[in-house]
Amino acid sequence: MADSKKIVTLITGAERGMGFVEAKTLAQHGQFVFIGAYDMELGQKAVKELQDQGLDVALLHCDITDQQNIDDAIKTVNDKFGYLNILINNAGIPGPQDALPTKSTVEELRKTFDTNFFGTYAMTRAAVPLLKKASYGKIITITSDMGSLGLATDPKSMFSHIISFPYQASKTALNAMTVAFSKEFRDAKLNVTANSVNPGMTATDLVDKELFEKNGAKPVESGAHRAIVLALDPKNDANGTFTEDAGIVPW
Ligand SMILES: NC(=O)c1ccc[n+]([C@@H]2O[C@H](COP(=O)([O-])OP(=O)(O)OC[C@H]3O[C@@H](n4cnc5c(N)ncnc54)[C@H](OP(=O)(O)O)[C@@H]3O)[C@@H](O)[C@H]2O)c1
């Protein structure tokens, strides 16, 4: 078994976008990072790029909609280390854009929820036994200000005018997941935490990059920043929070 002091991190959807920046930065800070890749070709390239820089990373096939795949991924982490310090639930899909609830279909909702909510929950649930075995455990779930009911119902917020129903509902549900896990860990007095993070509008492949850039979207490094700060914090005393670089985000 490997060095038990090494901080071990698994990031889903880490072959591109913010997940890749998080993987690179955390490995540069000495963490061992499993690059959870959906697209294995891109995952192999990502891992090679980081290994060529001398970073401690490994490729892990990670389709969060496939329970067998999740179980295999967790088994790989268990076989190599026997514990996991940090799970960053980064994988996500945008769902149909500008989708009004009267125009959305149950199928579209199911598809978006399959990845963003059920997949993330399945991954998290499978990782908990390994998070409990680590010196500390952290679940960092990338949700979105698009999922904030507080902002959506604040007439002063631009989010009171944005409707992308399947994506927004799936990220709201993920925030509920964060709250539920955080309460269970707190009540069980475990050194495991669960927090939601909002990257804010970021120019990645998930979105219409050109349009986002025109509208002032952040570069990918800035979008990844808050999750990196939480992942590098050795105290692990934040639990049940929803934050961004600027501070607290309303639920
Ligand atoms: N960009 C923004 O403005 C913004 C704002 C707020 C929140 N977020 C959230 O930030 C997170 C990262 O997104 P990003 O902007 O960096 O986009 P991205 O580059 O598209 O990253 C998302 C990653 O998730 C992967 N993925 C999709 N389905 C998956 C599955 N079933 N299993 C495992 N991985 C899967 C994608 O793989 P493929 O590309 O191969 O499908 C991709 O690697 C997402 O959760 C997103 O909702 C983004």
6-21 pLDDT, tens per residue? 999 999 999 999 999 9
4, pLDDT greater than 70: no
> What is the C-alpha to C-alpha distance for residues 107 and 147, in angstroms, rounded to an integer?
20
Each residue of 19-39: pLDDT tens digit?
A: 999 999 999 999 999 999 999
Q: Which residue(s) pair with 243 in the sheet?
A: 197, 248
Is the domain spanning 8-246 CATH 3.40.50.720? The answer is yes
**Residue that is written with structure tokens 């669960």 in the block:** 194
Q: Whose CA is nearest to atom 33 of ligand 1?
A: 63
- Establish whether 121 is a catalytic residue: no
List C-alpha distances in Å: 204 to 16, 134, 224. 9, 32, 11
Model confidence at 173, pLDDT cuts 50, 70, 90, reads very high
The residue ranges of DSSP E strands in the chain, in sequence order, are 8-12, 32-37, 57-61, 86-89, 137-142, 192-197, 242-244, 247-248
Q: Tell me if residue 171 is catalytic.
A: yes
Q: Which of 125, 129, 147 is nearest to 198 (CA)?
A: 147
User: pLDDT class for 215, splitting at 50, 70, 90?
Assistant: confident
Contact 28, 101 (CB under 8 A): no
Percent of the chain with pLDDT over 70: 98
Q: 């072959």: which residue's tokens?
A: 15
What is the pLDDT averaged over residues 154-173? 97
- Which atom of ligand 1 lies closest to the CA of 143? 7
Indicate if ligand 1 lies below 6 Å from the C-beta of 39.
yes
What are the two backbone dihedrals, phi and then psi, of residue 82, each rounded to the nearest 5 degrees? 85, 0
User: Mutation test of ligand 1: which of 204, 209, 243 has the most ligand atoms closer than 8 Å to its C-beta?
Assistant: 204
Pocket-testing residue among 18, 22, 164, ligand 1, by greatest number of atoms within 8 A of Cβ: 18
- Look up residue 239 and give its two tokens: 């639990």
